[in-house]
Amino acid sequence: MAEPKLLSTQQIAEHRTAKDLWIVVDGQVWDMTEFAPEHPGGIGIILQYAGLDASQPYNEVHAPSLLNKTLSSSKLVGTLDTSTLDESWAKPPPQQNSKVQLKNEKPPLFTLLSTHDFEAVAEKTLAPKTWAFYSSAATDLVTHKANQSFFDRIWFRPRVLRNIRTRDTSWRIMGQDVELPIMCSPAAMAKLVHPDGEKAIAKGCQSKGIIQCVSTNASFPIDEIASSLAPTQNGPSPLFFQLYVSKTRFDSEALLRRVWSLGIRTVFLTVDSPIAGKREADERVRMDDDQQGIPMMTGAGKPMNDTRGGGLGRLTGSFIDEGLDWSDLPWLRRHWKGRIVLKGIMCAEDASRAAEEGLDGIVLSNHGGRNLDTSPPAILILLDLHRNAPHVFDKLEVYVDGGIRRGTDILKAICLGATAVSLGRPFLYSLNYGPEGVEYLIDMLKDELSVAMALVGITALDQAHPGLVNTNDVDHLVPTTEGHPYAKKKRRPLKAML
């Protein structure tokens, strides 16, 4: 094979337009002209580094192997001639601010006592854009706040004089033994929080015996995340995979084949996000007002922003097929022979349909309150199923995702028939401390759950039942029928045009 062509900084700098776009990553010179318009986050971040070295922002959020796997070898046009480097080459691109200094140093991990402590530290120490992306929710935050507050409106009915010396928090999810009835929810671009991103989450979860569901929009390819784990000795994979169906179905089919080849046997199909909701906090922190390293930035008009703002949540979903519907399930089954869980069910009617379709599970979720504001809180959806579709509990596994911050929240969901719960933001905030933070979070939740079990009067999760909770404070908000109980749809004829 011929040696790669050496290219000077002057030669590379000549290719800095949308129609002729080269960048340098780790000494390799890539022609991004054709790929840049298809970049999931828009062309802006690539244009910003056109004709320049993009190694730093690329490596902060992407796996080193991603370019080689994504682009054909013909797009590798040469290597950087380091003898031509000068001071101008080292300068940051225009409109690029220096790295933001942390507002406060992180306190020692052992001083944190709750998920709320992790969140408080994250707010102070994560980059402003990273905090805005992960903490933001849709419009007025009504659903986001209700996800947590509705757990507070459910009361325990403890039993006393029970022997609770020994307690067991272990459980089973999709046939797999786990140490806790929790999962790590899929979340995009965890490398924004920590250089090891999803790999660090996977390491922490595996060491504590719980399952991580990896996002389609993860910072690393799924095979790299899987290979970072300790061998499972012929046991089931400790990973599930979350799928956003691409407008280019071939890409999703190829991705599913890769996932299957890794021994992963459960796919979570996200169904509540055909488009992203309006997340104003994310939009307000514009890309060029923050530090380097934010991936998938948009580039309409002014680089890294458009007229709507700088919302990463909106930009990362541009590839998602907005036309996905129930009739596409046979397509998914043709390309995936494992278990299928629908993530994002928000009413009893859709839960019933999922059971009729023979799916293996559903996640009751409003996407963390990030899409449709005033959609129902997750725990209220669980009660909706009990009242209007109780048969689904006998046909598939039911998970609750949204608002879980305490061991008491976990136990309330289990008492009300949930198979398990899933947490997203708390894991991302714990990742601020690396895999050790993830492990610390899991231990914290396990301790809280064990204490709650003892004080409610049970020693194993299979002893949990609805009689241990009082839902009177929210029962009047649970729908009583399919559709509206009294309002009827009215069609008003248009007046004839004069």
Write out the two tokens for 376.
């129902």
Residue with tokens 């390293």: 293
Catalytic residue list contains 31: no
Q: CA-CA distance, 3 to 52, in Å (whole number)?
A: 22
First to last CA, the chain: 76
Nearest to 77 by CA among 137, 166, 125, 11: 11
| Burial of 302 per CB tally in 10 Å (0-12, 13-18, 19+) | middle
Q: CA-CA distance, 86 to 83, in Å (whole number)?
A: 9
Alpha-carbon dihedral 282, 285, 291, 295, rounded to 10 degrees? 40
Q: CA-CA distance, 49 to 34, in Å (whole number)?
A: 15
Q: CA-CA distance, 325 to 274, in Å (whole number)?
A: 10
Catalytic residue list contains 134: no
Among residues 31, 53, 196, 272, which one is catalytic?
Answer: 272
Among residues 31, 350, 367, 401, which one is catalytic?
Answer: 367
Backbone angles phi, psi at 57, to 5 degrees: -65, -35
Q: CA-CA distance, 25 to 454, in Å (whole number)?
A: 55
Contact 188, 159 (CB under 8 A): no
Write out the two tokens for 300.
């309409």
Residue with tokens 């996000």: 273
Among residues 244, 399, 429, 440, which one is catalytic?
Answer: 244
What 3-state class would DSSP assign to 229?
coil
Count of other CB atoms within 10 angstroms of residue 161: 6
| Residues classed as catalytic | 244, 272, 367
